[in-house]
Amino acid sequence: MSEPKRLHPITIFYEIITTLKEMIVPFILFVVIGRPGGDSLWNKVPLLIFLILIVVTIVSGIVKWLRFTYWLEDHELRITQGLFVKKKRYIPFERIQSLDLSESIFHRPFQLVKVKVETAASSDNKAEAELTAIRKEEAAALQKIIADAKRGNNEEVLEEKVNEAVIYKITAPQLLFLATTSGRAGVVISAFLAFVFQFDDFIPYEKLFNEMQELIRYGVMFISAIVLIVLAIAWLISVLIALFKYNDFTVKKVENDLIITRGLLEKRTTTVPLHRIQALKITESPIRQPFGFASVTLESAGGTALEQDSASIALLPVVKKSRIPDILGEALPEFSFVTDLKPAPKKALRRYLFIKMMIALAAAVALSVIFWPYGLLGAILIGGAAALGYAQYRSAGWNIHGRQLTMRFRTIEQHTMLMQKNRIQALDMSVNWFQDRAGLAGMDAKVKSGEVFQRAHIPHMERDEAQEIYRWYSHRNVTKSEPV
């Protein structure tokens, strides 16, 4: 790969489609909806502007493809690109953390992949470099050459056996269970409402609401049926999204990397170096927990990720909780999947209940006054707050096992964070006036997750136990050779 190469010509089409997709909403607003009536030339200006933009997009896509080349030289991935200003980027092999591969519906017919080059400096959900479309054989050769060079070998293809093991592959029943319990219906509805209200200047909402008032007269049953239909459609869409996203989800351990592949319409491959793993998080949702199922995500430092806001990467999207030690114990021997966690003391129970119930009581009173008498139904909030507080009390727990701190806590879902001492970025112990009287304290632990932090939080625990955790962490004894 020492000779400069261009990307596959499908890159031109891919760039054009990507740009045009971003122009759809402005086109609808200014050309379809906002364009004045009449056949005068002035009224056709918005359409002419968009036609010019389309031509510019096509020309720039072709020029960008012609100006983009890449090659390997002197243990570096070298890239030149630029439309008006020619840019050169040299990325040493040792800086490359991983090459993440993905296949969209544009790539698959041509046996192509998109390659994202991840380094420790990658941030803001953006890769260090991106090869939009290259042949699978070239991507595989690129991965091997870089891997061999990082192991100290020459760039020649070596006939050596690579240690590779499949540690997890989702089954059809697991995929169906994952999809039906994904809980993304609320996200779908929120996204739909956010999209609809982008057009509040053009859609006659007042007229629609007046007509809805007429429909409401048909009774509660009619409205309830509409709500149920909307929820059912949103749930069905969320199921389809999960099926497409996690289809054929497979985790392999290859040498010192975890390689995760998934996806139906867009097949994605993500490589996570083991030394970049900061923590493991086991999550049990209220829907899955009664069936004994959980999911496992890993927090990775640096680079971009599959998720949008941090480097939280799904490792086991759905699995029987009891099988997690068997699946990950050998692949990740530095983690201990202990179950004997120390619970929160009984005296902490009222602390978990009091504040939540007071907030719920205030909300219930406000609803009752404003929407009397139907607002009295707001009293349900008090019971919900009490149930949540009690569940958080029962979930709270911790354990120190060698160099690992395990903390279990609950938001709506129950989370168990497994954190190595040298990966914990900050540990905070807090004691307010009420806790001081009861001999309680709060404990926060933070680990790096991309450009942000993931937080484990136990709001109320024995103060002596919190001090024990704090002493354990403060005497770190990190050697110079130990990665941080």
91, 151: one domain: yes
Peptide bond before residue 173 is cis, with ω within 30 degrees of 0: no
The residue with tokens 């990720």 is 305
User: Distance (Å, rounded) from C-alpha 463 to C-alpha 469?
Assistant: 10
Q: Which of 33-47, 77-91, 102-116, 159-173 has the lowest mean pLDDT?
A: 33-47
Helix spans in 217-345 (H): 220-246, 324-328
More confidently predicted of 145 and 343: 343
- DSSP class of residue 5 equals B
Residue 159: what pLDDT?
46
Confidence grade of residue 219 (pLDDT, cut at 50, 70, 90): low
Is a pLDDT exceeding 60 seen at residue 477?
no
Asked if residue 20 is part of any domain, the answer here is yes
For residues 162-171, average pLDDT: 85
Residue 99: what pLDDT?
81
82, 39: one domain: yes
The string of DSSP codes covering 327-360 is HHTTTSTT------PEEPPGGGHHHHHHHHHHHH
User: Distance (Å, rounded) from C-alpha 443 to C-alpha 183?
Assistant: 29
**In which domain, by residue range, is 33 found?**
10-160
Residue 154: what pLDDT?
45
367, 424: one domain: no
319, 340: one domain: yes
273, 415: one domain: yes
More confidently predicted of 303 and 325: 325
Residue 281 near residue 299 (C-beta atoms within 8 A): yes
Confidence grade of residue 482 (pLDDT, cut at 50, 70, 90): very low
For residues 327-343, average pLDDT: 90
- How far CA 434 is from CA of 389, 390, 440, 466, in Å, comes to 17, 19, 8, 16
At a CB cut-off of 8 Å and minimum separation 6, what does 238 contact? Answer: 179, 182, 183, 184, 185, 187, 188
Quick: pLDDT tens for 354-410. 989 999 999 999 988 888 887 888 889 999 999 999 999 999 999 999 899 999 999
Is a pLDDT exceeding 50 seen at residue 46?
yes
Helix, strand, coil shares of the chain, percent, nearest 5, are 45, 30, 25
Residue 398: what pLDDT?
95
For residues 231-252, average pLDDT: 86
Residue 249: what pLDDT?
94
Residue 36: what pLDDT?
57
User: Distance (Å, rounded) from C-alpha 407 to C-alpha 456?
Assistant: 7
List the one residue out of 185, 171, 211, 392 whose CA is nearest residue 293. Answer: 171
407, 339: one domain: yes
At a CB cut-off of 8 Å and minimum separation 6, what does 293 contact? Answer: 177, 181, 284, 318, 319, 320, 321
Tokens of 227: 């709500």
202, 223: one domain: yes
Residue 367: what pLDDT?
87
406, 261: one domain: yes
Mean pLDDT of the chain: 81
List the one residue out of 104, 135, 102 whose CA is nearest residue 117. Answer: 102
17, 127: one domain: yes
Asked if residue 180 is part of any domain, the answer here is yes
**Number of folded domains in the chain?**
4
The residue with tokens 């960008």 is 64
Residue 103: what pLDDT?
86
For residues 344-363, average pLDDT: 93
Confidence grade of residue 108 (pLDDT, cut at 50, 70, 90): confident
Confidence grade of residue 462 (pLDDT, cut at 50, 70, 90): very high
Using the 3D structure, point to which of 227, 246, 265 is the last residue of a domain.
246
300, 205: one domain: no
